[in-house]
Amino acid sequence: MNLKVFIINAFAKTSKGGNPAGVVLNADNLSVKDMKKTASILGLSETAFVMKSDCADFKVRFFTPNNEVDLCGHATIGTFSVLLNEGCISVGCYTQETKAGVLKVEVKADASIMMEQNKPKFYETVDKKEIAKSLNIKHSDIVEDLPIQIVSTGLRDIIIPIKNIKILDEIKPSIDQVAEISRKYDVGGYHIFTLDSSRKEDAYCRNFAPLYGINEESATGTSNGALACYLYKHKKFRNKDFVFEQGYAMNMQSEILVILNVVGDEITAVKVGGKALNLISKEINL
């Protein structure tokens, strides 16, 4: 069977930046085996499969090269960019049915996409020595006045504060140890960041998810949604709009926008978005 697939770079800050996602439209007749094989052939961090839904405008399933995940931010941005480019949708608001729930997606006039994520859930903190060892850094390279904490806006991640960009850029993690700790805490991976003031953006990030076959990812929507909530909760920012950089260590410059709705001191909504560039299509043989 020949299958048409799209590849598009989500959260791209430059023409060479962003995080490539695979997108398959009209995927209702594909089996789980077909979807897993497609994701494996493409070899991208995530591939999205778009189907009809009984409770939303679209149903979308997300697969890494070796697993299905409940939600993927960059693949959602890629999916709705492809739908817009192919004339399936126009500017406006839509809903997508995912394994993380039915979530809203806004398509803006400038072709940027903003997706709703779940309200944040804050879980346990993790020992800094355990994390430092797996990242091959010193305990003192981690920020003292912020916790290492598991946070989710759809997917659980370990949020890790690093003192400066130099340390963060030079990190060479033990991939096996990161995968082992991710499995231990039932998380997607590590989202490490710095608030180093030498950058104009709010935070500079890297993401490691080897448990899902992704040693490093250049732009991660769900993790950055969780990061914005973490920073707001721990009072590092009182603003509600964030701009995060990611992918620079991979020479794939990415920019992720996050908007929080806050009532009182409670985060009531999380939106993550950006633009997608460099759309291509090709056929693969299943």
pTM (2 d.p.)? 0.87
Residue 199's pLDDT band (cuts 50, 70, 90) = confident
- The domain defined by 121-272 folds into Diaminopimelate Epimerase; Chain A, domain 1 (3.10.310)
Options 3.30.9.10, 3.10.310.10, 3.90.950.10, 3.40.630.30; CATH for 2-115+275-285 is 3.10.310.10
Token look-up 């995940």 returns 69
DSSP string, 21-69: EEEESS-TT--HHHHHHHHHHH--S-EEEEE--SSSSEEEEEE-SS-EE
Residue 236's pLDDT band (cuts 50, 70, 90) = confident
Residue 213's pLDDT band (cuts 50, 70, 90) = confident
Residue among 46, 97, 216, 217 flagged as catalytic: 46
Q: What's the whole-number mean pLDDT along residues 164-192?
A: 97
Q: What's the whole-number mean pLDDT along residues 77-81?
A: 97
Q: What's the whole-number mean pLDDT along residues 221-226?
A: 94
Asked if 245 is an active-site residue, the reply is no
**What value does the mean pLDDT of the chain take?**
94
Residue 167 has φ and ψ, to the nearest 5°, of -65, -45
List pLDDT tens digits, range 83-101. Answer: 999 999 999 999 999 998 9
CA-nearest of 234, 256, 261 to 145 is 234
Q: What's the whole-number mean pLDDT along residues 76-88?
A: 97
Tokens of 123: 């879980």
Cite the residue boundaries of each domain of the chain with CATH code 3.10.310.10. 2-115+275-285, 121-272
List pLDDT tens digits, range 135-162. Answer: 999 999 999 999 999 999 989 999 999 9
200 compared with 120, residue with greater pLDDT: 120
